Amino acid sequence: MRQPMVAGNWKLNGSRKMVHELLGDLLSGLSDGHAAEVAICPPYVYLHEAMTRLEGSRVALGAQDVSAEDEGAYTGEVSAPMLSDVGCRYVIVGHSERRSLYHETDEIVAHKFQAVNRAGLCPILCVGESLEERNAGVTEAVVARQLDAVVELLGAETVSRAVIAYEPVWAIGTGLTASPEQAQAVHAYIRGRLAAAGAKPDQTRLLYGGSVKPDNAAELFAMPDIDGGLIGGASLQAEAFLAICNAA
Ligand SMILES: O=C[C@H](O)COP(=O)(O)O
């Protein structure tokens, strides 16, 4: 039985005020027995403050990115041991915005995944195709290439212990959501590919991301291989995020 998970990716949004207000609303709105694991991933500068706010709660902290290096002369970078030091449990790697806007290759993503793993944290590995790729019928090939880059470096068993987020690029921040059937098909493909590579992915949590909102979360999460969501825009409003957490 996989515990569902809902992770909020704040992206480049937030303030100290928002950390206090939104997390306060979240903590008071989550019922004690909520079934899903909930995580929030604010910008680096707010991690410590968020950790202080979340201490003693069941809400986990994650980061949105990480350096592939642990320490040294890498101006501007933040390492996985540092993220561990401030209380993170999760680190998003390979988000499509990092891949497209900051030119992160599959190889860089694999090394970031490795750094997160080395620090004892859990990667949330993002994979997903662009609209052009979907229309060209190469969705599975793109997802396979992104997944295989990490499997080749670390092995399928290690990858299957991470969280994997399928985020079709065309659904991110656009209001267009993959249908539950479209998302389920790719999730099943990912699980199958990990199994074919020698892992036992029955326990691997596969999240869907891309315009998840309170009104579409339940039907997406009802699919057999969708174990929750990676939420962008809707994670910035307590009411919407709580409704999505409850749907999981
Ligand atoms: O990391 C989150 C995803 O990019 C989804 O963002 P969105 O919910 O705003 O579409």
Distance 198 CA to ligand 1 centre (A): 30
User: Which one of 230, 235, 241, 244 would you pick to mutate in the ligand 1 pocket, going by the greatest count of ligand atoms within 8 A of its CB?
Assistant: 230
Kindly tell me if the per-residue pLDDT of 16 is higher than 80.
yes
What are the tens digits of pLDDT across the range 157-166? 999 999 999 9
Q: State which ligand 1 atom lies nearest to the alpha carbon of 210.
A: 10
Dist CA 163 CA 137 (whole Å) = 25
User: Which one of 5, 6, 9 would you pick to mutate in the ligand 1 pocket, going by the greatest count of ligand atoms within 8 A of its CB?
Assistant: 9
Neighbours of 175 (CB within 10 A): 9
The mean pLDDT of 88-98, rounded to a whole number, is: 98
What are the tens digits of pLDDT across the range 175-202? 888 899 999 999 999 999 999 999 999 9
Domains in the chain with CATH codes: 5-247 (3.20.20.70)
Kindly tell me if the per-residue pLDDT of 110 is higher than 90.
yes
Question: Which pLDDT belongs to residue 174?
Answer: 87
Kindly tell me if the per-residue pLDDT of 12 is higher than 80.
yes
Question: Which pLDDT belongs to residue 182?
Answer: 97
Distance 169 CA to ligand 1 centre (A): 9
| CB of residue 232 inside a 6 A radius of ligand 1 | yes
Residue 173 annotated as binding site: yes
Question: Which pLDDT belongs to residue 229?
Answer: 98
The mean pLDDT of 129-150, rounded to a whole number, is: 97
Give me the chain's average pLDDT, please: 96
Question: Which pLDDT belongs to residue 91?
Answer: 98
The pTM of the full predicted model, rounded to 2 decimals, is: 0.97
Question: Which pLDDT belongs to residue 231?
Answer: 98
| CB of residue 233 inside a 6 A radius of ligand 1 | yes
What are the tens digits of pLDDT across the range 18-40? 999 999 999 999 977 778 999 99
Distance 12 CA to ligand 1 centre (A): 12
Question: Which pLDDT belongs to residue 34?
Answer: 76
What are the tens digits of pLDDT across the range 206-218? 999 999 999 999 9
Question: Which pLDDT belongs to residue 85?
Answer: 98
Distance 72 CA to ligand 1 centre (A): 32
Active-site hit among 97, 129, 133, 167:
167
107 a catalytic residue: no
71 a catalytic residue: no
Active-site hit among 37, 95, 129, 187:
95
Question: Which pLDDT belongs to residue 122?
Answer: 98
